[in-house]
Structure 1
Amino acid sequence: MSLKVLFIGQYDVSLNISIAELELICGLSQKPDITIDVFAPFNTESLRLLNDSGVNTIPGKLPEGFDLQFIESIKTLQADHEYDIIHCYHSRILRHVIFAIKRTPVKLVTYLGAMSVHWHDPTAYFSFLNPRVDAVICNSRRVLTHFKKQFFGKSKTKAHLIYKGYSTAWFDDITAIDRESMNIPDKALMVTLAGTYSKVKGIEYFIKSQQYLPEDLSIYYVIMGHGTDSKTLKDLVLQMPFPDRIQLLGYREDAKRIVKASDIYAQTSLKEGFGRSLSEAVSMAKPVIITKTVGFSEVIETEVSGLIIPPKQPRAIAEAIVKLKNATFRQQMGLKAKTHFEQHFNSQNTIDKTYQLYQSLINE
């Protein structure tokens, strides 16, 4: 008997953001005993990928706030199709789905990519900590450990570690941006950091690390992502010894081209899950510097495939950058990280482990 699965997600965004989820859906659809429907807003690229894999797409709008009409639409879908599993990718949708499937036997699976759920937060019991949720896929061991601490007793078994798989081939055709267009000398060391600006990203510590760099080394920092061009960060840059060597770009559509042109990728977060930007950088064979509080540290063997440093330590960031000044050492480290990533964190592993999770839920 075919297993019927409904995915609910958001696929009208850039393919760069949604590709891992779409590859998972397409891969699962090739299993002989699974039929998949996807309810979501779509763009042309996501529709083409899904339809080419034979996935049935159901266009629909996702709720902004609490939306009774959306709940009714999920109720109707479940009544009409009698899905065995609903796989819900976004927390703001999750509470709606929980209401929609009350008193139905369907299994509910969701995804958690950050350490953002806490037992003392009442709203968590309308989403991830709700008894109606059957399985929560955590994208790193750090997130898994944190999430299990929010449960009591047998409920801890709801948490499952499945890394979000990537194919490094997705990044083969990306062309590096011309450094001259960014006013960065070819022989300079270019270090990039990408992420939406917030205190937890530790961007201030990254900027302050310039104070500890040797003056005779030409090192440029490129920081990009929503909010990274804020006045707060601009004022901080002006206090650094070489403010002209720190670029605050804000959001960039060509962020991957910039990473491809860089020599080193840094992520200096105070805490974080697996991190899409890190996965992309490693897929492009970039050596990475990360804090030990980042879930991606599970991928890196320090001094071999990357450098792991303590958080909130500008001097440690600078010292790690200087360690990577040798081009041959950088290239070797980047290639080792990419090879390890390909072997252990690829899309097929994610597809197979998600399939196994589905089977275990149905056989309970």
Structure 2
Amino acid sequence: MTDRKFRNQKTVLHLIDTTGPGGAETVFINLLKEMGQTPYRNIVLLRGEGWVADKVRSIGINPFIIDSKGSFNLAYIWSVKRLLTAEKVDLIHAHLLGSNVYGAILAILSRRPMIATFHGAVDVAAKERFLRTKFFLIGLGASKIVCVSKRLEQELVSRSRLPPDKLKLIYNGVDSSLYQGKRQSNLRAELGLPPEARIVVSVGNIRPAKGYEYLVEAALRMLELDPQTHFVVVGHQREALFQKLTAQIKNAAQPPRVHWLGFREDVVEILRQSDIFLLPSTSEGFSISTVEAMMAGIPVIATRSGGPEEIISNHETGFLIPIKDPSAIVEAIQALRAPETRLRMVQKAQSVAKEKFGLRTMLNEYRGLYQQLLS
């Protein structure tokens, strides 16, 4: 029950329907950290234990756990409605499609303001069940609908009848202070690589839209051009897709220099010790890892897959290349051998990232929304 010391505070319920690590989940955690420095009382609802729950506890919040399995779980809805009453919730803030739907339903039932945040193309996938109904409910129940990129906002508008006056663009933000100070590890030593090895790093869970099969093909072609170029992939490995990638490698005449690291907590350190960042996605929303690479001071190669076009200016802050094109990946890697090209891109990219995609910018936008809806 609500503690007496919180009696006059406004209470915000934060919910997200995933339990593992990822870009949306990182934004969720960063937002919670910032909200802890505000007058608001923040409570968290999760669907289960996992990485997100551990991170929430690490910042001093004990999350409520209620399983939301299913598209329209009535037992879940009534359980959360009781929680809203018991905790005297004033505002609901949901992330990702599933939680956005439930948050909107709860906002309608409880007559509370609600923010729905969409993080990527997966939120608007055409094969999603009951998508039209879900968008209708979100449009009806949400007070504001946040999109993390213009491309995503356009996709939402094209696939739904969401009220235009409720849509708001807020880019995800990255904390630039994480990329300062001494490096804490030695990635080349960990991988058994010589000091002169060039590391091309990609960050993102292994799933179809990430286009890692084109990374593997590019790595095969780089064997002939520069055997000292190594590709490092950081992210959870979905077994079925990962098996296809390993089979692709086994069928090659020579094994490419690709290192699969799986999920890592030290992404900041890995980025800081890499020479190039590569985003080979075929479809991408707002790419947090691309901004992180810009903050880390390494040149970026990203495909024209949606979100990257809003982050990178081609030949100014990085290279934008076509999707599904291993040759373009190789050409961009080779172009970054020129020191003057690297230096110019990195300096401009760091400046743009801090100004436009800094964590403080994102947090100020959300705080403004909270104040508007709670006033």
Shift of the 14–304 alpha-carbon distance from structure 1 to 2, 3 Å rule, reads same
Alpha-carbon separation, structure 2, partners of 1:192 and 1:149: 34
Aligned to 2:334: 322
Shift of the 175–326 alpha-carbon distance from structure 1 to 2, 3 Å rule, reads farther
Q: How many residues align?
A: 356
CA contact (8 A) 1:234 1:248 kept: no
Aligned to 1:102: 108
CA contact (8 A) 1:128 1:136 kept: no
Say yes or no: does 1:151 pair with 2:160. yes
Shift of the 260–305 alpha-carbon distance from structure 1 to 2, 3 Å rule, reads same
Of 211, 220, 226, which residue of structure 1 is paired with 2:236?
Answer: 226
Deviation at 1:125, TM superposition (A): 4.0
Deviation at 1:203, TM superposition (A): 1.2
Deviation at 1:358, TM superposition (A): 3.5
CA contact (8 A) 1:147 1:159 kept: no
* Identity in percent: 24
CA contact (8 A) 1:95 1:127 kept: yes
Say yes or no: does 1:183 pair with 2:192. yes
Equivalent residue letter for 1:158: K
Deviation at 1:89, TM superposition (A): 1.9
Alpha-carbon separation, structure 1, partners of 2:17 and 2:209: 25
Deviates more, 1:346-355 or 1:260-269: 346-355
TM-score, normalised to structure 1, is 0.83
Q: Deviations over 1:75-108 (max 9, x none)?
A: 1233345533200124333333344343432122
Report matched runs for 1:75-90 at 5 Å: 75-90=81-96
Aligned to 2:5: none
Deviation at 1:264, TM superposition (A): 0.4
Of 184, 193, 196, which residue of structure 1 is paired with 2:202?
Answer: 193
Aligned to 2:4: none
Deviation at 1:269, TM superposition (A): 0.7
The residue matched to 1:258 in structure 2 has which SS? helix
Equivalent residue letter for 2:110: T
Say yes or no: does 1:133 pair with 2:163. no
Say yes or no: does 1:73 pair with 2:85. no
Aligned to 1:5: 12
Deviation at 1:250, TM superposition (A): 3.7
Alpha-carbon separation, structure 1, partners of 2:339 and 2:197: 11
Aligned to 1:61: 66
Deviation at 1:10, TM superposition (A): 7.0
TM-score, normalised to structure 2, is 0.81
Shift of the 79–20 alpha-carbon distance from structure 1 to 2, 3 Å rule, reads same
The unaligned stretches of length 5 or more in structure 1 are 52-56
CA contact (8 A) 1:188 1:220 kept: yes
Equivalent residue letter for 1:73: S
Of 287, 299, 307, which residue of structure 1 is paired with 2:299?
Answer: 287
The residue matched to 1:215 in structure 2 has which SS? helix
Please tell me the root mean square deviation across aligned C-alpha atoms, in Å. 3.2
Alpha-carbon separation, structure 1, partners of 2:208 and 2:306: 14
Alpha-carbon separation, structure 2, partners of 1:213 and 1:305: 24
